[in-house]
């Protein structure tokens, strides 16, 4: 483990402890997997991956660990209607591309900041609380 990873682990531990939660081996494995992949996996995908390392872990435990990570602000949860929620290691405001085939999502580098938002005019009386920019399409695997 390099020092950068050590630092990440220490920050995660502090974040969890500030919410009265602990950094367990399972929680660390869930967090590690999320930091290793780029497609913002669902709980099910996290479960299948983490199970390789920790065969005794259950899907319910993965859900609980993901919720704990979301609650302490270490991970963000992306919900889209009826589709399964996806989990993102980034918690800053950023944008995504989303595949209509497999549902995977990737970070999108786009400069759509407050200046861009000023040009968008919602109907009178609409109070804007948040916004997201998303490119919908098909990923390389799903295009074939």
Binding piece for Zn ion, criterion CB under 5 A, among 12-20, 27-35, 45-53, 104-112: 104-112
With the C-alpha atoms ordered 81, 85, 88, 92, is the resulting torsion angle positive or negative? positive
> Structure tokens of 141?
């695997």
Binding piece for Zn ion, criterion CB under 5 A, among 22-30, 58-66, 102-110, 114-122: 102-110
Nearby residues of 99 by Cβ (< 8 Å), 6 or more positions away = 105, 137, 138, 139, 142
With H, G, I as helix, E, B as strand and everything else as coil, classify residue 113.
coil
Q: What minimum distance in Å lies between the beta carbon of 132 and Zn ion? A: 10
Residue 142 found at the interface with Zn ion (CB under 5 A): yes
Residue 30 found at the interface with Zn ion (CB under 5 A): no
Residues that bind Zn ion (CB under 5 A): 88, 90, 99, 101-102, 107, 139, 142
């Amino acid at each position: 483990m390099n020092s950068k990873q050590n630092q990440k682990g220490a920050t995660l531990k502090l974040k969890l402890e500030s919410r009265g939660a602990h950094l367990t081996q399972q929680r660390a494995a869930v967090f590690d997997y999320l930091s290793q992949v780029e497609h913002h996996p669902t709980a099910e995908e996290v479960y299948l991956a983490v199970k390789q390392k920790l065969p005794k872990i259950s899907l319910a435990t993965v859900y609980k660990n993901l919720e704990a990570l979301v609650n302490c602000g270490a991970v963000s949860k992306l919900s889209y209607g009826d589709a399964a929620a996806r989990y993102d290691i980034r918690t800053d405001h950023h944008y995504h591309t989303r595949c209509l085939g497999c549902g995977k999502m990737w970070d999108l580098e786009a400069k759509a900041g407050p200046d861009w938002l000023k040009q968008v005019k919602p109907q009178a009386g609409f109070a804007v609380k948040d916004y997201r920019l998303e490119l919908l399409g098909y990923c390389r695997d799903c295009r074939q």
